[in-house]
Every structure is written in structure tokens, then in C-alpha cells.
């Protein structure tokens, strides 16, 4: 009971120190409010209002029909241009696509010939160029088929593929971006807050005050873990339920409570990593550099940005030892696909096991740091 009381009181001390630091409070509030909203809505992954130039050398009803098939929200109204204007527009970024319709295009097509259309693409935006090229190909194919056969369907196939998109029927990108930003901020802030708390103790000299008290390194570490994890968990709940669900109107398929339980398990592992970094670093600038080296790979290689299946097998195997891999896995399963505890419990156990290893390493480093401070 005395140990629990010490952990509780030390945690309250951590909360008071955190609430006294206005910069960190502003960072936490922004990360789970404006940061989530801007990251999700400001970086659209869909084709939206792409500027198109059409070099029409045919001036036929068919070429005008093709030009009229580009409409919002995917494309802006096409602008007529010459070859030199289209090239200059692509060079300056004024146009993302330039479609060149050659002379006598309609006549050659009606005569059974195979005239060629040229599509020039600004590929500096890889995502938009890839999606836009596919859209333009389907638009032109539909218009040509309707002109020649009276129907927009292509040649009859021996099979018919029926596509049904689950969990995100309209392929809305900011649904994915909003939830993943909450997940990424949980990882980032949990490590920053705990590591910064330890460095702050050392720089302000309060660590020496703790050492003269009847406290153990285990009690000090657990206090920092639960206090900072509680703040991040409350902020993440606000970001998920208010910003993502209420403001952005992103449907969450699964249980928010189950996700928060899993997030609490992850926060234990992430806070342990933060304490370990705090024992390695000697100052706030060093901690910042270490966080860059640790957090960015954890986020990029966890499966939240790109599928793990597209990574080299060695990287996949190494990242199984990172708690973020399991966190992203069960978070997507719960929030996107509505998975229950019977599906995600192995991920919870994996996170707790990895967190226990990091906590033991951090405890050993913390005891060593305490010994060096006493000396």
C-alpha cells in the first residue's frame, strides 16, 4: 500500500508539472485537435480539381465531346491550349495533364484506323498523376465506345467482376488520415512527454530531491508512466470522439472503449521507450535528436503509412519487436473493421510483452543513472 501511495503521489506531482508547462499543453491540445483535422483534410489522397489542358487539333464533334467529359470534382474545366502553351503549363505547374487530340482524329477513327492520343502528365505529384491517368483513360474509352457502338461498356468479357468496397465504400482518404493521425500522435507524444519529464527532473535538480526520499526507481518510473499516459489517453479520446467522429464525421466501426484499452497497453510500452531515451540523453536537444531517430522509423515502418507486405522481409521481421506494429494492427482492426476482443487479444499480449522488455531495460538504465547521480 505504501508503494501504491508513493506512485500515486508522484504521479500527481508529474501532472502538476505538466499542467504548469504551457508549451507542452498547447502541443498536446493542438496535436489531437487542429493537428488531426489539418493532417486528414489538408493532404487529400484523391484526385481533386486537377487542371487539364486540351490541345484540340481536330475540332470535331468527337473531340469536343471528349473535352466536355472532364468535370468536377476530379478535374477543373479543361482549358484549350496550343502545344507550346501546354508544354509551358506543364513546366510551370499550371497544368497537371495535357491531352493532345491529333488532326483528323474523328475521321480516322470512323474509317477503322487506330489514331493515337497523347497524354502528357506532370508526375511530380506521383499519387495524383497515377490516379488521374487511370481516370482519363476510362473517360476517353467510355466516350469512344459510346461514339462507335452507342454504349459506354467495353468489349464483352467471359467473366464479370463485381467489386464491393468494404469499410470505406467511397474510398474517402481523410477517413484513413484522421484515424492514423490520432494513432501517430499517441506514439509521438507518449515518448516525448515521458522522456522530457525525466530530462526536466535532471535539469531542474528535482531528481536529487527524489533520491533523498524513501522512493525506489520502480516507483518513480511507474508514476511517470501512469501520469503521462493518462494525459495522452484523455487527449486521444477527445481527438477520436470529438474531432474524428463529431467534427469530421468519420464512422468508427468498432468499440472506442476497446481501442482505448489497447491504447493504454501501448502507452505502457511507449512510455518505457521514452524513459529509456531520457536515461540515454543528457539534455533536451539530445532527446529531440534521439526521438527523430526512433519515432520516425517506428511510424513509417509500422504499417500505418504503407502496407507491411510491401516492405522487405527483414524489415517486417525486425518491426515485430516494435510495439507500434501491433498498435497499428489492432487499431485498424478495431476502428476500421469493427474487430472485437476475440480478434485483437494476441496484439494486446504482444504489446504488453514488448512493453515489459522495454520497461525492464529502462529500469536498469534508470538505476544506473541514479547511481551515477549519487556518486
Residue 238, phi then psi, degrees to nearest 5 = -65, -45
Q: Are residues 212 and 119 in the same domain?
A: no
**Is the torsion defined by CA of 242, 243, 248, 250 positive or negative?**
negative
In-domain check, residue 17: yes
| H or E segment and range at residue 35 | helix 34-41
So what's the pLDDT on residue 355? 92
Q: Are residues 368 and 292 in the same domain?
A: yes
Q: What's the pTM value of the predicted model, to 2 decimals?
A: 0.77
In Å, how far are 75, 128, 132, 133, 181 from 47, measured between CA atoms?
8, 6, 6, 10, 21
The CATH number that applies at residue 71 is: 3.40.1710.10
At 110-124, the pLDDT tens digits run 888 888 899 999 888
In-domain check, residue 157: no
Which grid cell is 315? Answer: 524489415
Q: CA–CA separation, 153 vs 59, rounded Å?
A: 25
* CB 309 within 8 Å of CB 262: no
So what's the pLDDT on residue 261? 93
Contacts of 126 (CB under 8 A, 6+ apart): none
- Which whole number is the average pLDDT over 346-365? 92
So what's the pLDDT on residue 372? 58
In-domain check, residue 248: yes
So what's the pLDDT on residue 155? 55
In-domain check, residue 216: yes
Q: CA–CA separation, 119 vs 101, rounded Å?
A: 9
Choice among 6-10, 46-50, 298-302 with the minimum mean pLDDT: 46-50
Q: How many residues are recorded in the chain? A: 375
* CB 239 within 8 Å of CB 32: yes
Q: Are residues 56 and 28 in the same domain?
A: no
So what's the pLDDT on residue 152? 65
Q: Does 126 score more than 80 pLDDT?
A: no
Q: Are residues 296 and 190 in the same domain?
A: yes
Residue 219 has, within 13 A of its CA and on its CB side, a CA count of 18
Which grid cell is 167? Answer: 469499410
Q: CA–CA separation, 99 vs 114, rounded Å?
A: 17
So what's the pLDDT on residue 145? 85
- Which whole number is the average pLDDT over 32-45? 79
At 304-337, the pLDDT tens digits run 878 888 888 999 999 999 999 999 999 989 998 8
Q: Are residues 289 and 190 in the same domain?
A: yes
Residue 120, phi then psi, degrees to nearest 5 = -100, 135
Q: What is the dihedral of CA 192, 196, 199, 201, to 10 degrees?
A: -140
In-domain check, residue 154: no
Q: Which structural domain range is residue 114 located in?
A: 52-149
In Å, how far are 43, 201, 262, 274, 357 from 350, measured between CA atoms?
32, 31, 11, 19, 11
So what's the pLDDT on residue 349? 95
Residue identified by cell 476510362 is 138
Model confidence at 131, in pLDDT bands (50, 70, 90)?
Answer: confident
Which grid cell is 239? Answer: 481527438
Q: Are residues 228 and 310 in the same domain?
A: yes
- Which whole number is the average pLDDT over 84-111? 90
At 182-215, the pLDDT tens digits run 988 998 888 888 888 888 777 777 766 766 677 7
Q: Are residues 263 and 189 in the same domain?
A: yes
At 143-168, the pLDDT tens digits run 888 888 777 665 555 666 777 877 77
So what's the pLDDT on residue 57? 92
Amino acid at each position: 500500500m505504501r508503494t501504491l501511495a508513493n506512485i500515486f503521489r508522484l504521479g500527481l506531482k508529474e501532472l502538476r508539472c505538466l499542467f504548469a508547462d504551457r508549451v507542452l499543453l498547447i502541443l498536446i491540445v493542438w496535436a489531437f485537435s487542429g493537428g488531426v483535422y489539418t493532417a486528414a483534410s489538408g493532404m487529400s489522397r484523391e484526385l481533386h480539381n486537377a487542371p487539364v489542358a486540351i490541345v484540340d487539333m481536330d475540332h470535331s464533334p468527337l473531340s469536343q465531346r471528349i473535352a466536355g467529359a472532364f468535370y468536377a470534382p476530379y478535374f477543373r474545366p479543361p482549358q484549350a491550349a496550343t502545344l507550346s502553351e501546354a508544354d509551358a503549363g506543364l513546366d510551370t505547374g499550371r497544368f497537371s495533364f495535357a491531352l493532345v487530340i491529333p488532326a483528323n482524329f474523328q475521321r480516322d477513327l470512323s474509317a477503322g484506323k487506330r489514331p493515337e492520343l497523347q497524354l502528357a502528365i506532370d508526375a511530380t505529384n506521383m499519387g495524383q498523376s497515377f490516379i488521374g491517368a487511370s481516370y482519363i483513360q476510362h473517360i476517353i474509352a467510355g466516350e469512344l465506345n459510346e461514339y462507335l457502338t452507342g454504349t459506354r461498356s467495353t468489349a464483352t468479357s467471359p467473366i464479370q467482376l463485381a467489386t464491393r468496397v468494404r469499410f470505406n465504400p467511397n474510398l474517402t482518404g481523410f477517413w484513413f488520415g484522421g484515424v492514423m493521425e490520432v494513432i501517430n500522435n499517441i506514439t509521438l507524444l507518449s515518448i516525448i512527454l515521458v522522456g522530457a519529464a525525466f530530462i526536466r527532473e535532471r535539469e531542474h535538480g528535482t531528481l536529487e530531491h527524489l533520491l533523498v526520499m524513501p522512493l525506489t526507481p520502480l516507483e518513480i518510473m511507474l508514476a511517470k508512466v501512469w501520469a503521462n499516459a493518462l494525459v495522452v489517453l484523455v487527449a486521444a479520446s477527445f481527438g477520436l470522439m470529438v474531432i474524428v467522429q463529431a467534427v469530421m464525421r468519420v464512422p468508427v466501426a468498432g468499440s472506442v472503449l476497446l481501442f482505448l484499452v489497447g491504447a493504454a497497453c501501448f502507452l505502457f510500452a511507449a512510455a518505457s521507450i521514452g524513459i529509456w531515451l531520457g536515461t540515454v540523453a543528457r539534455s533536451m536537444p539530445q532527446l529531440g535528436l534521439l526521438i527523430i531517430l526512433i519515432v520516425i522509423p517506428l511510424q513509417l515502418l509500422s504499417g500505418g503509412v504503407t502496407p507491411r507486405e510491401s516492405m522487405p522481409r527483414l524489415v517486417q521481421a525486425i518491426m515485430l519487436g516494435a510495439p507500434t506494429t501491433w498498435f497499428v494492427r489492432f487499431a485498424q482492426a478495431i476502428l476500421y473493421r469493427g474487430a472485437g476482443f476475440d480478434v485483437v487479444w494476441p496484439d494486446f499480449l504482444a504489446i504488453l510483452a514488448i512493453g515489459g522488455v522495454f520497461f525492464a531495460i529502462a529500469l536498469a538504465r534508470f538505476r544506473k543513472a541514479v547511481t551515477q547521480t549519487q556518486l
